[in-house]
Structure 1
Amino acid sequence: MKDVKLNELSPAWRELYDAAVAARKNAYISYSNFAVGAAVRCANGKIYGGCNVENASYGLCVCGERNAIFHAACAGEREMVELCVVADTSGPVSPCGACRQVMREFGIQTVILANMKGDFKITTVEELLPYGFEL
């Protein structure tokens, strides 16, 4: 895992971060007030955003990372290469286990963990989820 600052991001990673920040603005957070945005880049270069969507029945809540991936999947995308997730946290936000497994399922390699202050950790799904589930 590598720590970086906003001014150290490549233009491509900055574009992904900006898309995640934009998606975060649409978070439906009536219960926790914890907004999360995510963006996934596909092998063809297209970027799809997602935000967390809460529900009074907490088990039905969906994270921003999975919504970004499912958004891409609904558009017919199957080759996803990198994902950025952002929240207003003290350090870069980390995905839950379910999101890590879904990232693995879709072959995402690079994961950018971020916060709104411009702190980043660059990592991989393998580092976040060693020994992920397989059928």
Structure 2
Amino acid sequence: MDIWQELYDKARKVQKSRTISPFIEAGCVASAILTKSGKIYLGVCIDTASTLGMCAERNAIANMITNGESQIDKVVAVMEDGRVGSPCGACREYMMQLDKESSEIEILLELETRKTIKLKELIPDWWGVDIFKANNSN
């Protein structure tokens, strides 16, 4: 099994659409992240009545950060119907701010053909590049 299929399968495994309370639904979208160290972190979307929810990708990133990592290699987001999808603008921005190499994150766009795109192609001319250069860090 290739890594894209593994990430997809792991995301689908946690993707269980459910109602948490009258105000919160979760699990319509799931995400799997492969870090540069080779670990996989998972997350599901959490939608709230007050818009304080969290996308599946950012939930997976929070799990990654909680476990001491911050460098992403690959990202898969699985929509409710089983198709893969591109991260929203907020998730793209969040990923870009993680590390100076984040522009190289590979995102799966189509499982069958293994079509991917680099984050830098989704956010060309990102505003924070010079800040990373100036800080000479992450």
Asked if 1:127 is matched to 2:121, the reply is yes
Closer, same or farther: CA 126–89 of 1 in aligned 2, 3 Å: farther
- Other-structure match for 2:107: 111
- Other-structure match for 2:40: 47
Asked if 1:93 is matched to 2:89, the reply is no
The TM-score with structure 1 as length reference comes to 0.75
Q: CA RMSD in A?
A: 2.8
Closer, same or farther: CA 114–25 of 1 in aligned 2, 3 Å: farther
Supply the distance in 1 between the matched residues of 2:114 and 2:85 (Cα, whole angstroms). 9
Supply the distance in 1 between the matched residues of 2:60 and 2:91 (Cα, whole angstroms). 10
Closer, same or farther: CA 131–27 of 1 in aligned 2, 3 Å: farther
Closer, same or farther: CA 37–120 of 1 in aligned 2, 3 Å: farther
The TM-score with structure 2 as length reference comes to 0.74
Closer, same or farther: CA 25–105 of 1 in aligned 2, 3 Å: same
Supply the distance in 2 between the matched residues of 1:89 and 1:103 (Cα, whole angstroms). 24
For CA contacts below 8 A with separation 6 or more, give which structure has more relative contact order.
1
Identical columns (%)? 33
Residues matched between the structures, number: 123
**Matched residue SS, 1:53:** strand
Matching residue within 9, 21, 25 for 2:16: 25
